[in-house]
Amino acid sequence: MTSPFDLYKENAGAFDEFIVNSNAQDENWLGLAKSIENLGLSELKRRAIEVEQTQSARGITFTVGGQERTFPLDPLPRIIAYDEWNKVELGLTQRIAALEAFLDDIYGSQEIVRDKVIPKRVIANATQFSRPAAFPLMEYQMRITVAGLDLIRDEKGELVVLEDNLRTPSGVSYVIENRRAMARILPELFENYEIEPVTDYPSRLLASLISQAPSQVSDPLVVVLTPGIYNSAYFEHAFLARQMGVPLVEPRDLFAKGNEIFVRTTKSSRRVDVIYRRIDDEYIDPVFFRPDSYLGVPGLVNAVRAGGVTIANAVGNGVADDKLTYAYVDEIIDYYLHQKPILKNIETYRLEDSDVLSFVVENADRLVIKPVDASGGKGIVIGSQATDQELEEVKAAIVANPRGFIAQRIVNFSTIPTVVGNNIEPRHADLRPFIVSSPDGRYVVPGGLSRVALEAGSMVVNSSQGGGSKDTWIIKGRSRQRIATSSQLQKNSQSQIAIDLAKESAQ
Amino acid sequence: MTSRGSIVLARTAESLYWLGRYMERSESMARILDVHLHEIIGSNDDNEARWSDQMSTVFSFERNVESFDKLALGLSLDETVPSSIRYSIERAYENAKSARDAISLEYWELINVAFGRVSRYTLDQFGHGLFTFYSIIKERCAQGRGLAVSTMNRDAAWHFLNLGYNVEQLDILLRLIIEKRRSKIPEDWVVVLRSIGGHEAFLRATNSPVSEIGSLNFLIQERIFPRSILATMLRISNIVNELLRGLDESQGFSLPPELPRQIARLEYPLASETGEIDLLLDDLWSSHLLMCNFYYETFFSPLSKSNFNYPLRSEVWR
């Protein structure tokens, strides 16, 4: 039988996770290829389409430009070995711990600035630095309850950090739904592999939120705050609320009174203790931020400051996922934890230095230029793919406002086998792991969301721009025998039945 | 009733109530329009003009001079007509989405799929095939009701949904009867009975041919017919009593006397003079409106009656 992987070839220059691992005789990837060969690509696709229809019926969607779409799930999972993941997990928790300390510091006494590890202007000029957030938290509160970092695997095959998302990262619902879908697409593999489960996430998040409730409360009321049904991630908000068994509220359901927050119920009102909010800082409280925001709860920030309610994530986290702060994360880890960073950054040019700025302007066509305060891939210019006009525009913009941008080298990040039409082809993919922090410790979702660019050669994985997703499997180890012999086993058991029947009829 | 599950946000309650109303409205409208379209085949022009007039009064409050076909098409598939079936399904979907955490997955899935299907239909696709459209809608809505009944906890969320279904049922039946009373055409009452799926039920219950007074008796106060006004009001009163349990009576949260008064009144035989029946219908209609206001004040903007000076949602956000 010919395997659909026979014709599979990697792109020149990129690290292909299947080719490298199968050349190294990695059992897990070879087992996956073997299973796909046994199943046949057309059957795999048939199952995937069936699952997509179910997902669409259940409304597992996101919204782009007012249109609801399902998030295309590629039926081939991505496999990451347990040992490598252990290291990544340590690196992630280390990074979040350092950034948590950093946020506490800069919204407090700013010792890191006083010790001249980071220039004051980096913080003072950050658009996301938020004065209303400049107050010490209660000891039971966290600033970064949920983080979703973007990792990519570079040309050498090492997972490096591309971006920190510490505000309201989304995507975890797809991780859980994708795993459920994969169990229907490839049930054969679930029997043979020991895959680290992801379904713990909602209960971990709930536990963290409960532990951050104001201390005098014995039975805290936790709510998920969504901007409403037209938000692109509404599915996720409703999903998390249902999975945690807490009310899903909109801003108009809440009101502040005497530094406490209440929710309107059919039986007058109830005090709210913890709010897991999925609304950006800008909109959350018209008293402090945009006065024209209809999505805000007037008085919320004051209630938080007075300790009447906890919100997660805290206000003002944007300053720590500012792209220029990113360029200082190694120093931040060293300063607060006295440790060497476990996860590497991508080489980043800080444009504050005029020599660096002129170098970047000259070489803009070979670099990626990113605005420091945007998220979701907005405003990023990839030099090698940009038009002349775009390049000129971005050059003018960075000269006018060097603090507003950073430049990075273009990373030709790794590819993974992906079903495209009737073939399997390499496609670029990134990885977004999710980290839940609570006062008692941190939990990293094993794996995370692998987003894959469905266009050949494209490096844009954003779902809003035609990206798909993959289930990510952290495999602890597996019984090689079971895969190799599963078809044999079946034969054996069939012949055993035949023998038994023969015996019976003989008697 | 102190467990966490019993917290229903005022907004969620309102969404559930409207979800029920829009689902019921879609189903009732599909049935009413379907029946009238069938009756028009082989009927005379007078009937068509009259029904066209009646339907536009019942459903859109505007006098209509179009042909019945055109009117039915607009009331079915035109999303710019705020009383069309398509519009109702869309509102049902939005309310279901907003109350997503309070309804069951199966019920949600059904509404989501129905909305997806209906929003793909276009006006030109159904030149003469509206019957197919109506049967899809009736089927979907009936399935939805069944799924809700069989998959949802009987908690406050369920009561609000159920309240919406029943209030809409009452609303449409009252409108239909009041409008049909104006035309004084006795043959119309068969059509009315069919329109609410009660023709056979009428024959079985009364063993007599359809007459105006017989139909009115049946539609208004037949206890064993689940869609009659009396039966619907009895269900509403049970639901409201259930919802009021645990609310503070001293703040005025109690069942308005209107509802029990009307129910008691319907227990007695109808007067035979037609003038009295019209008075009764008008009275029922104003009680219905009063009850609708009561739901708002009591459940959906619950702080409006309390002594605190909280800003009302409508004052701040509209």
pLDDT of residue A433 exceeding 90: yes
Q: Per mean pLDDT, which range of A287-301, A319-333, B239-253, B283-297 is the poorest?
A: B239-253
> What is the SS3 string spanning A417-440?
EEEECCEEEEEEEEEECEEEEECC
Secondary structure element (H or E) that encloses residue A135, with its range: none
Distances from the Cα of B31 to the Cαs of B21, B36, B115, B212, in angstroms? Answer: 15, 9, 18, 21
| A430 and A291 within one domain | yes
Domain endpoint, select from A410, A431, A464:
A410
| A359 and A320 within one domain | no
Residue A380 pLDDT class (50, 70, 90 cuts): confident
Q: Do A252 and B317 touch (CB under 8 A)?
A: yes
Q: Give the nearest partner residue to A252 out of B156, B303, B313, using CB atoms.
A: B313
| pLDDT of res. A480 | 46
Q: Give the nearest partner residue to B8 out of A56, A242, A265, using CB atoms.
A: A265
Q: Do A253 and B113 touch (CB under 8 A)?
A: no
Q: Do B100 and A267 touch (CB under 8 A)?
A: no
User: Which parts of chain B sit beneath pLDDT 70?
Assistant: 1-6, 61-65, 123-128, 246, 248-253, 272-273, 302-318
Q: Give the nearest partner residue to A270 out of B7, B248, B311, using CB atoms.
A: B7
CA dihedral B26, B28, B34, B40 (to 10 degrees): -130
Q: Do B10 and A265 touch (CB under 8 A)?
A: yes
| pLDDT of res. B248 | 63
- Structure token digits, residue A32: 């996956």
Considering A6-15, A256-265, B51-60, B250-259, the range whose residues carry the highest mean pLDDT is: A256-265
Secondary structure element (H or E) that encloses residue A79, with its range: strand A73-81
For residue B109, the distance in angstroms to the closest alpha carbon of chain A comes to: 5
Q: Do A242 and B317 touch (CB under 8 A)?
A: no
Write out pLDDT tens, residues A44-61: 999 999 888 888 888 888
| A383 and A315 within one domain | no
Task: Count other Cβ atoms within 10 Å, centred on residue A191.
Answer: 11
Domain endpoint, select from A355, A376, A410:
A410
For residue A6, being part of any structural domain is answered with: no
- For residue A390, what is the domain's CATH number? 3.30.1490.270
For residue A312, being part of any structural domain is answered with: yes
Q: Which amino acid is at B239?
A: I
For residue A191, being part of any structural domain is answered with: yes
Q: Do B310 and A255 touch (CB under 8 A)?
A: yes
List residues in chain B touching A: CB distance below 8 A. 4, 7-13, 94, 97-98, 100-101, 105, 108-109, 112-113, 116, 156, 160, 243, 246-248, 299-303, 306, 308, 310-311, 313, 316-317
| A259 and A359 within one domain | no
Q: Do B156 and A266 touch (CB under 8 A)?
A: yes
In the sheet with A269-272, reading across from the earlier edge strand, the strands are: A254-257, A260-264, A269-272
Nearest-by-CA chain A residue for B99: A248
| A211 and A64 within one domain | yes
| A245 and A97 within one domain | yes
For residue B34, the distance in angstroms to the closest alpha carbon of chain A comes to: 28
| A125 and A187 within one domain | yes
Of A54, A63, A74, A323, residue with least CA distance to A170: A63
User: Count of A–B CB contacts within 8 Å?
Assistant: 81
Count Cβ neighbours within 10 Å for each residue of A145-172 and write b for 16 or more, e otherwise.
bbbbbbbbbbeeeebbbbbbbbbbbbbb
Write out pLDDT tens, residues A439-498: 989 999 999 999 998 888 888 777 667 788 999 999 986 544 444 434 444 444 444 555
For residue A175, being part of any structural domain is answered with: yes
Q: Which amino acid is at B164?
A: G
What is the residue whose two structure tokens read 């998302």?
A165
Q: Do A252 and B112 touch (CB under 8 A)?
A: no
Residue A136 pLDDT class (50, 70, 90 cuts): confident
| pLDDT of res. A215 | 78
> In whole angstroms, what is the distance from residue A265 CA to residue A472 CA?
40
Nearest-by-CA chain B residue for A293: B317
| A379 and A236 within one domain | no
Write out pLDDT tens, residues A150-169: 999 999 999 999 999 999 99
Q: Which amino acid is at A332?
A: I
Residues in B touching A264 (Cβ below 8 Å): 9-11, 301-303, 313
Cα angle value A100/A105/A107 (rounded, 5°):
100
Q: Do B9 and A245 touch (CB under 8 A)?
A: no
Q: What is the DSSP letter of B270?
A: P
| Alpha helix stretches (DSSP H) within A212-317 | 234-244, 281-284, 300-305
Q: What is the DSSP letter of B227?
A: T
What is the residue whose two structure tokens read 């037209």?
A230
Average pLDDT, chain A: 87
- Structure token digits, residue A31: 């087992």
For residue A5, being part of any structural domain is answered with: no
Residues in A touching B11 (Cβ below 8 Å): 249-250, 252-253, 264
| pLDDT of res. A502 | 55
> In whole angstroms, what is the distance from residue B132 CA to residue A105 CA?
66
Q: Do A263 and B311 touch (CB under 8 A)?
A: no
Q: Give the nearest partner residue to B97 out of A229, A242, A269, using CB atoms.
A: A229
| pLDDT of res. B251 | 61
- Structure token digits, residue B292: 């609708």
| A392 and A262 within one domain | no
Before A345, cis peptide (omega within 30)? no
Q: Per mean pLDDT, which range of A355-364, A374-383, B88-97, B209-218 is the poorest?
A: A374-383
Residues in A touching B248 (Cβ below 8 Å): 268
Q: Do B246 and A56 touch (CB under 8 A)?
A: no
Q: Do B108 and A58 touch (CB under 8 A)?
A: yes
For residue A506, being part of any structural domain is answered with: no
| A280 and A151 within one domain | yes
For residue A358, the distance in angstroms to the closest alpha carbon of chain B comes to: 50
Q: Do A247 and B13 touch (CB under 8 A)?
A: no
Residues in A touching B317 (Cβ below 8 Å): 252, 294
Task: Average the pLDDT over A238-254 and give the result.
Answer: 93
| Residues with Cβ within 8 Å of residue A480, at least 6 apart in sequence | A27, A31
For residue A247, being part of any structural domain is answered with: yes
CB A426, CB A416: distance < 8 Å: yes
A5: region left, alpha or beta (phi > 0 left; psi from -120 to 50 alpha): alpha
Q: Give the nearest partner residue to A264 out of B10, B97, B246, using CB atoms.
A: B10
Q: Give the nearest partner residue to B13 out of A221, A255, A266, using CB atoms.
A: A266
| pLDDT of res. A138 | 86
Task: Count other Cβ atoms within 10 Å, centred on residue A315.
Answer: 24
Domain endpoint, select from A358, A378, A410:
A410
State which residues form the domain around A228. Answer: 17-346+411-484
> In whole angstroms, what is the distance from residue A280 CA to residue A313 CA?
10
| Residues with Cβ within 8 Å of residue A461, at least 6 apart in sequence | A428, A429, A430, A451, A452, A453, A467
> In whole angstroms, what is the distance from residue A166 CA to residue A171 CA?
13
Residues in B touching A241 (Cβ below 8 Å): 101
> In whole angstroms, what is the distance from residue A270 CA to residue A257 CA?
12
The two beta strands, A274-277 and A222-225, are parallel
Q: Do B108 and A294 touch (CB under 8 A)?
A: no
Distances from the Cα of A270 to the Cαs of A255, A408, B4, B297, in angstroms? Answer: 10, 49, 11, 18
Nearest-by-CA chain B residue for A55: B109
Nearest-by-CA chain A residue for B244: A267
Write out pLDDT tens, residues A79-133: 999 999 999 999 999 999 999 999 999 999 999 999 999 998 888 888 888 888 8
> In whole angstroms, what is the distance from residue B172 CA to residue B164 CA?
12
| A219 and A325 within one domain | yes
Residues in B touching A58 (Cβ below 8 Å): 105, 108-109, 112
Q: Which residue has the higher pLDDT, B132 or A414?
A: A414
CB A308, CB A265: distance < 8 Å: no
Residues in A touching B247 (Cβ below 8 Å): 267
Nearest-by-CA chain A residue for B103: A242
Domain tally, chain A: 2
- What separation, in Å, do the N-terminal and C-terminal C-alpha atoms of chain A show? 42
Task: DSSP for B14-83, please give it.
Answer: HHHHHHHHHHHHHHHHHHHHHHHHHHHTT--HHHHHHHHHHHHHHHHSS---S-HHHHHHHHHH-TTSTT
What ipTM, to 2 d.p.?
0.82
| pLDDT of res. A506 | 54
Picking from A236, A249, A267 by the largest number of B CB atoms within 10 A of its own CB, the best residue to mutate is A267
CB A104, CB A500: distance < 8 Å: no
Q: Do B101 and A247 touch (CB under 8 A)?
A: yes
Q: What is the sign of the dihedral through the CA atoms of A96, A97, A100 and A106?
A: negative
Count Cβ neighbours within 10 Å for each residue of A287-311 and write b for 16 or more, e otherwise.
bbbeeebebbbbbbbbbbbebbbbb
Nearest-by-CA chain A residue for B106: A58
| pLDDT of res. B314 | 40
Q: Give the nearest partner residue to A247 out of B7, B160, B308, using CB atoms.
A: B7
| Alpha helix stretches (DSSP H) within B152-257 | 156-183, 188-195, 199-206, 212-221, 229-244
CA atoms within 13 A on the CB side of A92: 34
The distance of Cα A101 from the centroid of its chain, to the nearest Å, equals 21
The distance of Cα A337 from the centroid of its chain, to the nearest Å, equals 24
CB A203, CB A452: distance < 8 Å: no
Q: Do A266 and B302 touch (CB under 8 A)?
A: yes
CB B88, CB B168: distance < 8 Å: no
Q: Which amino acid is at B195?
A: S
Secondary structure element (H or E) that encloses residue A320, with its range: none
| Residues with Cβ within 8 Å of residue A485, at least 6 apart in sequence | none
| A388 and A449 within one domain | no
